[in-house]
Amino acid sequence: MRVLGIETSCDETGIAIYDDQKGLLAHTLYSQIKLHADYGGVVPELASRDHVRKIIPLIRQTLKDANCKQEDIDGIAYTKGPGLIGAILVGACVGRSLALSWDKPAIGVHHMEGHLLAPMLEEAAPEYPFVALLVSGGHSMLVDVKGIGQYEVLGESVDDAAGEAFDKTAKLMGLDYPGGPRLAKLAEQGVPASYKFPRPMTDRPGLDFSFSGLKTFAANTIAAELDDDQTRANIARAFEEAVIDTLSIKCRRALKQTGYHRLVVAGGVSANRHLRSSLAEMMQANGGEVYYPRGEFCTDNGAMIAYAGLQRLKAGQTDDLQVKGLPRWPLNSLPAVEVAE
């Protein structure tokens, strides 16, 4: 089976074609970073308009790169949510329209399920069950994953997500958009343990996350002490250390609670080098393994949507003709499917 995947949940237009026998045939990605840079963040209406402008040329390019025609496509998957509703509806309308005109089945994919399954695109893919840490600009959650659609959310953000806290703290430091990756790069120059930032919600039981207080602590430190480049780097390093320690502590708790020895980390923040090394050390010390998607599939992309959609289409799941976009969509509400061979 060969599926065309469409991702338009926020500020990246991602298109991919995935074949269940040959793997990923082609993928293209257009980022709107330059468009939103002047505003210091994503402007939803501009994001939607840019998806409209780019989506059809990218689909044509991806078909060409994969040496495919419309008759070679067996199904279409598109992001149905969660995300920016206008942006989601662009991909959903195009996906449903193509499915109708090409007479192909189509399915709306949960954006976070796409991230969760992104490591399955790799040659060394994890086996079920595992704990998944999903960390991005809009989400931070720990999930018990027994199979596709068999998800139990163990903990999640009660306020700012980890990626959101990175971006907001970077903005407080005067770093350009997108702030998160720039803050992480600046932290490379910082001296470890120069400042001691709190590790929020680690002094109590549970697996939920809260990063708004850490952001406020960083804001107060910046206001009081940000007077030279080295201090700036030290604060960035302390903030990053606090986020990574918090995520590591929660992951360790989740693994102990479930008894699993496999950890999947996905979402934009999973590309952070220090996070990867910290979790790798933790898993090695505990006799487990950690899995990530490659760097280009950590952020939003069409490949993860094509893969996730293919699994559900193969199981006989499809959406009706009604075009739906869900800005909020609980991950644990998805139906289970058998793992495709």
Bridge partners (DSSP) of residue 291 are: 264
SS3 at position 97: helix
Report residue 263: phi and psi, to 5°. -125, 130
Q: Please check if 110 is assigned to a binding site.
A: no
SS3 at position 49: helix
Q: Please check if 138 is assigned to a binding site.
A: yes
The terminus-to-terminus CA distance of the chain in angstroms comes to 12
What does the DSSP 8-state code read for residue 66?
A: T
Evaluate whether 233 touches 185 at the Cβ level (below 8 Å).
no
Q: Please check if 135 is assigned to a binding site.
A: yes
Taking phi over 0 as left and psi of -120 to 50 as alpha, with beta for the rest, 227 belongs to alpha
Q: Please check if 140 is assigned to a binding site.
A: no
Q: Please check if 277 is assigned to a binding site.
A: no
Structure tokens at 51: 């998806």
Please give the Cα distance from 234 to 192 (Å, whole number): 7
Structure tokens at 65: 């790169």
- Describe the chain by its helix, strand, coil percentages, rounded to 5: 45, 20, 35
One-character DSSP codes across 239-295: HHHHHHHHHHHHHHHHHHHHT--EEEEESGGGG-HHHHHHHHHHHHHTT-EEE---G
Q: Which residues make Cβ contacts (< 8 Å) with residue 111, sequence separation at least 6? A: 7, 9, 79, 81, 82, 83, 300, 305
Q: Please check if 180 is assigned to a binding site.
A: yes
Please give the Cα distance from 303 to 31 (Å, whole number): 15
Q: Please check if 111 is assigned to a binding site.
A: yes
Closest to 1 measured CA to CA, from 323, 220, 250, 314 = 314
Binding site listing for substrate: 134-138, 167, 180, 272
Binding site listing: 111, 115, 134-138, 167, 180, 272, 300
Binding site listing for Fe cation: 111, 115, 300
